[in-house]
Every structure is written in C-alpha cells, then in structure tokens.
Amino acid sequence: MSKAISSKTLAPSLAAHSDASRWLIAFSGGVDSTALLHLVSTWSKGSSDSPPITALHINHGLHAQSAEWENHCAWICRFLDIPFRALQAVVEPDGAGLEAAARSARYALFASQMEAGDVLFLGHHQDDQVETFFLRLLRGAGVDGLGAMPRQRPLGKGVLYRPLLELSRVQLEAYVAAQGLRCIDDPSNQDRSLDRNFLRGEVLPLVEQRWPGYRKTVTRASEHLTRAAGVLEQAVEVPETCFSALGDPGLPLGFLAETDDAGAVQVIRGWLRLCSLQAPDQSVVEEFLRQLRKAGRSARPMLNTGSFRLQRYRDAIYLLPPAAGNLDQTMTLAPGEVVDIEGVGRLALRRCDPPGIWLAADEELELRWRGGGERARPAGRRRNADLKKWQQEEVIPPWWRDRMPLLYLENQLLAVGGLWPCQSSRWGEAGEEAEAPWEVVWEPAVGGGFD
C-alpha cells in the first residue's frame, strides 16, 4: 500500500528553493498538477519565507473543452487564493507530430515567463519517469536519452524543478481525493493509439503483475544511466563556442575532421547542453551529422527539432534566432524610443555625441526590411554598393539578411540596424538648430543560453 503524502513530504525540496524570486506552478488542471498546486500552496501558507506563487496554465487550443478547462483552473486558483495566468499556445505540428509540437510550444511559453531567480515547478512524477524511460528505449535512445528525467535544469532566465519525481501516480490520486479536489479528466488520456497511453494502459499493468516493484528498479537503472552519461560528458572535449557577426552562438566544425561519428555526436550533444537545450534523439543527431559530412562548403544543412534550429554557415553550426513576427506591418522609431520586435530584437534611438544622426524631437524614422535592390553607403566608406553585398562582406549570416532593420527618413536610408549609420544628409558632426545627434542601438534576438 502506498504511503500517504502531505505538504510535509515536499518540505525539504521547497525549503531548498525558498530564496527564489517567485514560484511559478505549471497548472493544467489534471491530477498531477492539482496535487502539486495544493501541496505547494499548503506548505507556503505555513512558511514565513515562502516566495509569491503564480499558477501558469497553457491553453493549447487543441480540444473542444480547452476554454472550459482554462475556466476550471482559474476557479481552482480563486478557491486557493493563488494568482492565475493563462497563456495561449500556437501549436504548429511538424514531422515530430502534434504531441511534440504542443510540448515545444508549452515549454517556449514557460521560458518566456521566467525572470532571473524564478523557479517553475512541474508535476512530473515517478510513473512519468518510468513511462519516458520505456518510450525512449523503444525508440532506440542512447545513454543520454535513457537517463533519468532531470529534477532541475535551467529554463529561460530561471530554473525548472520537478519535486514529485519520487511519488507515484497512485499517491497523487489518493491525495487529491482526500482533499476533495476536482480535477480535469482529459479524454485523450484514454486514446490507446497514442504510445504513452498504450504503454500506460496495456503494457505496464502486465509488467506490474510480474514485477510489482518495477517503478523503483527502472528509476534506479535510469539514474545509473544518468551517471554514466555524466562520465561520458566529462570525457568529451567540446570546442569553445564561437559567435556569428550578430552574436548567434555556434559550434566550430573543426571537430568533424578529428573524431569518428560516435564522438562527433557526443560533441554536438555536449554543446547543446551548454546552450541549455534538450538534445533530440540519437538518430536525429546522426542524420544531421551525415548531412554535415557530405555537404559542400556552400551548403547549409539544418536540424529543426521543433523547439530550436541549428544551421551550418561557413565553418560552424549556429543556433538560429526565434522566428520573426509579422514584419509587414508599418513600424516607426522616434528619438528616445525603445521597441521590441519578435525575432528581430530590441531597437532604440539613443542620444550620442557627434557624429550622429541629426533629428528633431518630433521626427520619426520608418522601419523597413530588405526586399532586394537596396543600396547603402556606410558612413566613412567611399563607395555606394548593393546592401546584400555589404552584408556578405561583413559575414552577416543568411538568416539575418532579410530581418535586419533598415531605418529611413523621407525615403533616405539613415542606418542599417545598429551596425552601420549610412552617409546621408542627416549624418555628421553638426545639424540644424532644432536637431540633436542620435545613434541606433540594436540588440539582435539571438537564440540559446548565450548572450
């Protein structure tokens, strides 16, 4: 018989994170997250130094009852007096399937909410750990993939933490029943055409009949593999991260000539860990490696996992920036203004000492994007040339060339991002009496855990 749990069960884990800025709790409304929310809330109310709590609900919009589920979660949070925030996910299925696409969208939203010092609690438990082990085993995962689900890892600017990994689903179900808590029953959990549901409903009950303690033994085996993966990681020399002209983190490709395929796969996976990214399945990395070895110097093989993309450019593979938002809309930038553009970055006009771009306080620059045929003469240069040629000479990666902000005033190109102020009637040491010198500052939206 499973041991009953209470908020005291999580006391050591929660106390260890009591110095966090905020506790965010992933709350779907199911049994696991409902138990987690109630356990953390109960412990917090009895602690004098607990951080503020906010529940995060991701509405994937994939079920007819999605809005009803969101309302249910909001009601539970009102009942428990916990601030509630619902986020709408945009799920775009790719070759990895709908479930994987939903997961990628969910974690991207979680990461976007994380500030420095935040801890996000997830409700994964021991049964999730075991199911994940078997699913990865049946897909041919390597040592890394078969290792235990990490209790803690970086996410966004904060930390993801799983405090329920030592508890079973049965224990959590008993807890919510004892507390009289209502939970969402997602009908898709009964769909045996889904691998995890088939494993949970058909295979593992048979395993339990023969080996009642399989959860603990499989968890122990998974932890052994995690330690083995750590030993392998220490033995792999990962090249120092390089950066593109705009700051994209990259892995220099010199290692391809120095290692065999098995070693090269470990280098790529090791570098992804440095970027705080979850490496895809072994077979996916191996196929990307095959493309890298066969590709000519000008080719640009890409690895798209759904949650991040890697692409070769010249002698490195780079972590690509997030996809750009709608760049067709008209945008302007006024002196002193700061704007954030999805997939482009932060753009600002800042006062500077001369030389600069001389503008009156009420003037606004128009923001455009490269469409082809633009010409530019960077300040201090003697020649006027095609913008694409300038980009190539300055080794601007291809994925940035069409999303570099071009700033115009009265159809005159004044600056290309924060890279080049252009020779124009507004550039120089002095301007008109009502004008002041300004400079364009651009922080590109580079991807990954490097800035």
- Cα–Cα distance, 260 to 265 (Å, whole number): 9
Q: How far apart, in whole angstroms, are the C-alpha atoms of residue 25 and residue 322?
A: 25
Q: Of 231, 265, 293, at which residue does a domain stop? A: 231
pLDDT given for residue 451 in this prediction? 38
Each residue's pLDDT tens digit, 282-309: 888 999 999 999 988 788 999 998 778 9
Q: Which residues span the domain enclosing 279?
A: 242-320
How much is the pLDDT for 449?
52
**Structural domains in the chain (count):** 3
Binding site annotation covers 33? yes
Determine whether the annotation assigns residue 123 to a binding site.
no
| % of the chain at pLDDT higher than 90 | 67
pLDDT of residue 225: 92
Identify the residue with better confidence: 231 or 239: 239
Residue 311's CATH number: 1.20.59
Q: Are residues 299 and 376 in the same domain?
A: no
pLDDT band of residue 177 (cuts 50, 70, 90) is very high
Give residue-wise pLDDT tens across range 318-367: 999 988 878 888 899 999 999 999 889 999 999 999 999 999 999 999 99
**Boundary of a domain, candidates 320, 353, 382:** 320
Q: How many C-beta atoms surround the C-beta of residue 448 within 10 A?
A: 19
How many CB atoms within 10 Å of residue 123? 23
74-109 exposure pattern, b = at least 16 Cβ within 10 A, e = fewer: bebbeebebebebbebebeeeebeeebbbbbbbbbb
Q: Is 156 annotated as a binding residue?
A: no
> Is 226 a residue whose pLDDT tops 80?
yes
Give me the sheet containing 22-26, strands edge to edge: 84-88, 53-59, 22-26, 118-121, 158-161, 152-155
Phi, psi (rounded to 5 degrees) for 395: 55, 40
Domain end among 295, 320, 345: 320
Residue of 52, 61, 166, 60 whose CA lies nearest to 115:
52
Q: Is the pLDDT of residue 10 over 90?
A: yes
Domain-embedded: residue 4: no
What 3-state class would DSSP assign to 387? Answer: helix
What's at 285, amino acid-wise? V
Neighbours of 148 (CB within 10 A): 20
DSSP 29-48: SSHHHHHHHHHHHHHHHT-T
The rounded mean pLDDT for the chain is 91
| Residue 31 assigned as binding residue | yes
139 touches 234 (CB < 8 A): no
Q: How confident is the model at residue 450 (pLDDT cuts 50, 70, 90)?
A: very low
Do 226 and 289 lie in a common domain? no
Q: Is 28 annotated as a binding residue?
A: yes
Q: Tell whether 214 and 291 lie within a shared domain.
A: no
282, 140 in Cβ contact below 8 A? yes
Identify whether residues 155 and 285 lie together within a single domain.
no
Average pLDDT for 161-166: 96
Same domain, 293 and 372: no
DSSP 8-state code for residue 402: T
Average pLDDT over residues 54-65: 92
Cross-strand bridge partners of residue 161: 121, 152
In a domain, 74, yes or no: yes
With beta carbons less than 8 A apart as the criterion, state whether 172 and 128 touch: no
Question: Which of 78-82, 204-208, 298-302 is least confident?
Answer: 298-302
Question: Rounded to whole angstroms, how far apart are CA atoms 318 and 342?
Answer: 19
325 is in an annotated binding site: no
Nearest-5° angle of CA 55, CA 57, CA 62? 170
Within a domain: residue 34?
yes
Residues 88 and 141 in one domain: yes
Do 33 and 103 lie in one domain? The reply is: yes
Position 326 in a domain: no
Bridge partners of 311, per DSSP, are 302, 318
